[in-house]
Structure 1
Amino acid sequence: MTKMPLLLLAALALVVSGCSLPWTPRTAMVWKRVVPAGDCHCADGSQFAFWERRADPAKVVLFLNGGGVCWDAETCAFTSTEIPGESDFYDWNLEGTNPENRSGMFDTTRGDNPFAEYSYLYVSSCTGDAHLGNASQKYSPTLTVEHHGYVNGTAALDYLAEHYPDAEEVVVVGKTAGSVAAPLYGALVADRLPDAQVTVLGGQSGAWPDHPEFNTKILDETWGAYDAAPEWAVDGLAAQDWGVPRFWTQAGLRDPDLVMARFDFAYDPHAAVEVTQWMDGDPPDLLAEIDRNETAIEAAGVALHSYTAPGDDHGIFDFENAFYDTEVEGVRLVDWIEELIDDDDPPDDVRCDRCDP
């Protein structure tokens, strides 16, 4: 029988005993499950939790995972496909969630990982509302869904502020639907930790539209996001005018020191499949939507740094090959991110010259 390496045996012994591993640079992740107090739960009423990797207490990644969205009896049904707790539309509990199976930016043993030394808080969405909601919706006599994503997410923010009070750098990374709320959470982090440099990196929601019907019927009436948001996030905006691109605008106006950036594949059909009905064209031009949103955000006086890769791929942050191999116009994504979080002057925008799949 092959002998288990001594380091792994020591790690297992520490985990079993309830102790945490001493952190050194380039060590593999060890996760701790955290169950917050308060009215936190998933869509089906089950327990909500998030995960922590304790490393450098001065540098923290707040990772807002995707998990899909829903807003009616069909899309919000508690049905599972291959993974328990996950339907074709969204994750309705955490039964199938496991941050240990992630790679990409979660491979902290790699020398070219810009986040290798960071502590992590991994927050998954299990409420179908992109970390934004605070409402209980009865979609049928047998289906009541707890859209409590904002309640869950802000509980993780409170934990961040309490356990990392001296953080100097916080990077809010949002994946797909998790990136929809990333700028709002970035400003909320800055409110709680005013001495920290806060960077927001949203991935793959650049095409989500600012459409009055979506803003009113889904964000406001279904998820309760408009009423749940802090005052500055909705300041001067009616519910119909408070859309996803405005999240970036409101956050940037709230804290001009926020460094805000996005990543998108130009024609990723999965990144915005839920909201294409509120876009122009059939099918819509996703790159045109991305460009239109960025133009509107920057016209409001907010700097949005961007990296747009060609094609219709999906998945970047937790995919080993995509995260480390993506290169556009001679600039590697990981190098661009490192410059984004480490340099006083954020990097130039990177955009594919030929963006078609």
Structure 2
Amino acid sequence: MRATAVSTFLFILILIGCSQPATPTATADPSPTNTPTATADAGVVEIQPTESSADDGILSLADGWTQIEPGGETRCAHDTPFAFWVRPGTVNKLLVYFQGGGGCWNEETCQVGSSFYDSSVGVNDSPERRGGILDFDHPENPFADYHAVYVPSCTGDVYLGSNLQTYSTDDGENIEIYHRGFVNLNAALNWAFENVLAPSSVFVTGCSAGSIGSIRAAPHLIHNYPDAEVVQLGDSLGFVFDEPTAVDSIYGTHQSLPNWIPAFADFDPDAFTMADFYNAVAAFYPQNRFAQYNTEADSVQVRYHLAGGESAETFAPALAEAISAIHLESPNFRSYTADGDIHCIMPGNLFYTREVAGVRFRDWVTDLAAGNEVANIQCESCGVAYGPTGATSEPAWEQIGIMPTPRSENRGVVLNGRFYIPGGWGGESVFEAYNPADDSWETLADLPDGRHHFMIAAFDDKIYLFGGSPANAYAPTDTAWVYDPTSNEWSAIANLPQPRFAGAAVTVGDAIYIVGGKSNTGATPTLRYDSVSDTWTELASLNQASEHVAAVALDGKIYLFGGWEQPGIEFSRLEIYDIATDTWADGGNMQFKRGGLAAAVLAGKIYVVGGELLSTGQTQDHVELYDPATDEWAEAVSLPHSLHGFPLLSYDDALWIIGGSDLAGGEQNRGRILRYQPAE
């Protein structure tokens, strides 16, 4: 078997060749003609500085990020405008970052509203929300002073496309997709070449699909900045499958190949392997350095590996083989392979804390970018390791699988042995149920209106969903619904007394209580809902108003944990509500302050898990254990990775996590199903 490394979704193109789904119909489309652009015969971006660029260029912009809409032949998949962001620095060095964004390859995956890829550029694509190397205020960011160009993904072709493609459905409908990823990439590079003149060094990188963008852009950056030290790093790039990948017939990749590199004269883009591409570029530019970062159990890569007919156990050795294929031919290639299953490290704060073999990833990248020699770093074991290692008899968190629609900033409930997971960022209208008995998922009736940051509870064999924020917004609403699993139908119920989101709902006796959260009226009293009369009662407010909280009910009391008064002012507080007296009292504080956390009851104790600190831009892996009988806290087994905004469910003597995000203040949805069963 020959393992090869490809992009975030390119294995799907293998499946096109193997399973022969409906054949897409290509529509003739000229080569990109935006000005300036690639030459027809070589694809080299040749730029002569204009009068405007000869002036201060990027330094003429205001501090912070500026959005650029280049127009011309650029566009997103459904013929909407493409844009990228730029940011002036204080030194003449350049950071180029390519965003991940999935991909599409047929009439089903390319349809409007598909969850397989990002098809537009919007507010959620802004680099303002990112962490890691995109947090320019972080004191340890090695690129804090660099000029920056941030390129979103919106074409479903991992930056390889120069094509207008028509996909035909069985009923005769035609879906036109502008696979213009390379055209968009080209426009962003053109802007840089005109406005960032003669930088001393360039660091080009990208996450997931953006990894393809980074190695695809590297030859153009080296060619047009001949005096700069250009370094490339692909983040979570090493997808591995058994067959080369066809990319030309759908995306028109031949129009964008760097044909001035001799190896590409005989390069077949319909037999694409990432190892071949790396080796061709690295051989032509032996003075430059190229690199990859991967985790040996990357949850996203494993998901596609499984869909390609392989097993989870074969992923780590296949990944090592793919990386070795580059090492064997390219002495100027470096790799850092870590344990765990995190997908993408550069845009998150794990960038600053990840350490393998005594080498911190942040330091490794800093040396790589500075031109210093770095070693190839490999985790000690290529086996999957969940949770802490060392001499301990305490079980660790284990990954069970991946949810069909990765989401975050949502909640879930257990009802009659099934986990019901509605809405959230990444699928605000999606409603899916998981059966842990046979590890299966079922798609249920969509939410009547898409929601995230809602409150949810189960009562009397029904599921109640309250408030939250509508899709494409970040503001509370007062609507509420009940879902009947028997009929698979949603019905409207009485609205909340005031709009509310980012609170918590718990069931106690014959009533449901809403605690904490944020309202646009300022008032957030405790609310009690009576499902029989469909009425609300307002009760006592928290001692300290707090949103993005977690809460559980136990023995006639409600325990509310953490949250924040406003973003950046987080709490470690515990407040306890006595239902009999309608009063809130303070309990012992958690060790770690955080919002966006989750809580669940298991064996009479309360586990408080994960969370985020917007004040530092960090997600949390902390797990704390609270004993209500003694009002005492203890540390429990940490998560295998930091996480916030997820359902935490207690079922069958174990805790279950479904999905969540590891990007503080944003969605970088992982979709992992984690299970933890404490020792007896």
Instruction: Judge same fold: TM > 0.5, yes or no.
Output: yes
Larger-gyration structure (1/2): 2
Q: What is the letter of the counterpart of residue 91 of structure 1?
A: D
- In structure 1, the partner of 2:73 is 39
- In structure 2, the partner of 1:101 is 129
Does the Cα contact within 8 Å between 1:210 and 1:242 map onto a contact in 2? Answer: no
Match of 1:91 among 82, 94, 118: 118
Give the CA deviation at 1:353.
0.4
Distance 1:272 1:150, change over 3 A: farther
Alignment partners' CA distance in 1, 2:84 and 2:306: 30
Structure 1 residue runs of 5 or longer lacking an equivalent are 1-18, 23-29, 80-86
Does the Cα contact within 8 Å between 2:133 and 2:347 map onto a contact in 1? Answer: yes
Give the CA deviation at 1:256.
1.3
Alignment partners' CA distance in 2, 1:282 and 1:271: 12
Distance 1:241 1:148, change over 3 A: same
Does the Cα contact within 8 Å between 1:208 and 1:245 map onto a contact in 2? Answer: no
Match of 2:342 among 307, 313, 320: 313
Match of 2:186 among 141, 150, 154: 154
Does the Cα contact within 8 Å between 1:186 and 1:258 map onto a contact in 2? Answer: no
- In structure 2, the partner of 1:267 is 297
Q: What is the letter of the counterpart of residue 256 of structure 1?
A: P
Distance 1:72 1:227, change over 3 A: same
Q: Secondary structure at the match of 2:249?
A: helix
- In structure 2, the partner of 1:119 is 147
Q: Secondary structure at the match of 1:257?
A: coil
Match of 2:277 among 225, 228, 247: 247
Distance 1:318 1:21, change over 3 A: same
Determine if the alignment matches structure 1 residue 184 to structure 2 residue 216. yes
Determine if the alignment matches structure 1 residue 66 to structure 2 residue 100. yes
Alignment partners' CA distance in 1, 2:305 and 2:220: 26
Alignment partners' CA distance in 2, 1:284 and 1:235: 37
Does the Cα contact within 8 Å between 1:91 and 1:125 map onto a contact in 2? Answer: yes
Alignment partners' CA distance in 2, 1:209 and 1:260: 22
Match of 2:360 among 332, 335, 340: 332
Give the CA deviation at 1:263.
0.6
Q: Deviations over 1:71-130 (max 9, x none)?
A: 011111111xxxxxxx42110011232211111111222221111111110001100011
Alignment partners' CA distance in 1, 2:217 and 2:181: 12
Match of 1:349 among 369, 376, 379: 376
Match of 2:287 among 250, 253, 257: 257
Number of equivalenced pairs: 318
Alignment partners' CA distance in 2, 1:273 and 1:328: 24
Does the Cα contact within 8 Å between 1:234 and 1:242 map onto a contact in 2? Answer: no
Q: Deviations over 1:10-41 (max 9, x none)?
A: xxxxxxxxx7446xxxxxxx100111142000
Does the Cα contact within 8 Å between 1:184 and 1:251 map onto a contact in 2? Answer: no
User: Which range moves more in the overlay, 225-234 or 244-253?
Assistant: 225-234
Alignment partners' CA distance in 2, 1:119 and 1:172: 12
RMSD: 2.0
Determine if the alignment matches structure 1 residue 289 to structure 2 residue 323. no
Q: Give the structure with the larger strand fraction.
A: 2
Correspondences of 1:96-245 after superposition (within 5 Å): 96-140=124-168, 141-209=173-241, 211-212=243-244, 215-216=245-246, 219-231=247-259, 232=261, 234-245=264-275
Q: What is the letter of the counterpart of residue 108 of structure 1?
A: F
Give the CA deviation at 1:302.
4.4
Q: Secondary structure at the match of 2:238?
A: coil
Does the Cα contact within 8 Å between 2:185 and 2:213 map onto a contact in 1? Answer: no
Structure 2 residue runs of 5 or longer lacking an equivalent are 1-59, 386-680
Distance 1:204 1:272, change over 3 A: farther
Alignment partners' CA distance in 1, 2:255 and 2:182: 11
Give the CA deviation at 1:192.
1.0
- In structure 2, the partner of 1:82 is none
Alignment partners' CA distance in 1, 2:282 and 2:356: 27
Does the Cα contact within 8 Å between 1:134 and 1:224 map onto a contact in 2? Answer: yes
- In structure 1, the partner of 2:89 is 55
Alignment partners' CA distance in 2, 1:20 and 1:230: 31
Q: Secondary structure at the match of 2:76?
A: coil
Q: Deviations over 1:155-212 (max 9, x none)?
A: 1111111111211111001111110232221111001111110000110011344723
Does the Cα contact within 8 Å between 1:249 and 1:302 map onto a contact in 2? Answer: no
Distance 1:274 1:46, change over 3 A: farther
Q: Deviations over 1:322-357 (max 9, x none)?
A: 11111111111101111111144x210111103413
The higher relative CO (CA closer than 8 Å, separation ≥ 6) is in: 1
Distance 1:292 1:240, change over 3 A: farther
Q: Secondary structure at the match of 2:293?
A: strand
Q: Give the structure with the larger helix fraction.
A: 1
Give the CA deviation at 1:240.
4.0
Alignment partners' CA distance in 1, 2:61 and 2:187: 22
